Amino acid sequence: MPLTVRCTRRGRKPARTASLVVLGAVVLWSPLGAEELYRWTDEDGNVHYSDTLPAERAPDARDIYDRAGRHLEKVDAALSEEERALERERRRQEREAEALRREEAREQAKYDRMLRRTYTSVEAVQEARDERLENLEATIELSRSRIARYREELERLESDAARQERMANGNPGPVYERIDQIEGRIQRQQEFIERHRADMEDIRETFGDHIERFRELQARDDG
């Protein structure tokens, strides 16, 4: 027959002393076949000792002792549905964070291999950067020259349109059409220049990162 002892809250000895006394009694009177003893607290705060764990107490927190009274294990209370949901969400976030760390590590390794295959030194990285910047600057300068020529033509067309306006039988319509075309070309060339300037800033930033990382790799190799 299972042996169960309850310690009520009223009139009991100091907690540790009472626990030791009751535990000793349970150990003494429990069946010889009982290998483990259980201690748990009910809803009213009463402490229970038993050589068997009631089924309805399976979700509760408990301490397990051997027949010599030695503490074997502390079992935490089972989680509520809300707590289990929070735990699942925490584990999901941890898995996602770990997957992200692994992906970032793969991307970093890929980036490092690209740097090592492409460049032999920091100076080589700087030379590649300067070459690209020079090519873009030359393209921008070509566009500026075109804009200057378009503006010269535009000035002549505006004078011609004014002259046509003053003439009794003048026909400024075709001239204005040409002016619209030239103004459109100027606008497109200006937009082209702005895009190339943005490209140059991107190149400076990208190669700045290349140089910084290449130096880190060199320092790691030297170390």
pLDDT tens digits, 63-78? 777 666 677 777 776 6
Cβ pair 172, 161 in contact under 8 A = yes
d(CA 183, CA 126): 39
Q: Which residue has the higher pLDDT, 28 or 176?
A: 176
Instruction: Give the Cα separation of 151 and 133 in Å (integer).
Output: 27
Question: CB-based contacts of 35: which residues, under 8 Å, 6+ apart?
Answer: 66, 67
CA separation for the pair 220, 208 (Å, rounded) = 19
Q: pTM to 2 decimals?
A: 0.58
Residues 129-144: what's their mean pLDDT? 97
pLDDT band, very low/low/confident/very high, at 90 (cuts 50, 70, 90): confident
What is the percent of the chain with per-residue pLDDT over 90, rounded to a whole number? Answer: 55
Domains of the chain by residue range: 4-75, 79-118, 120-222
Structure tokens at 47: 């402490």
- State mean pLDDT over 36-47: 74
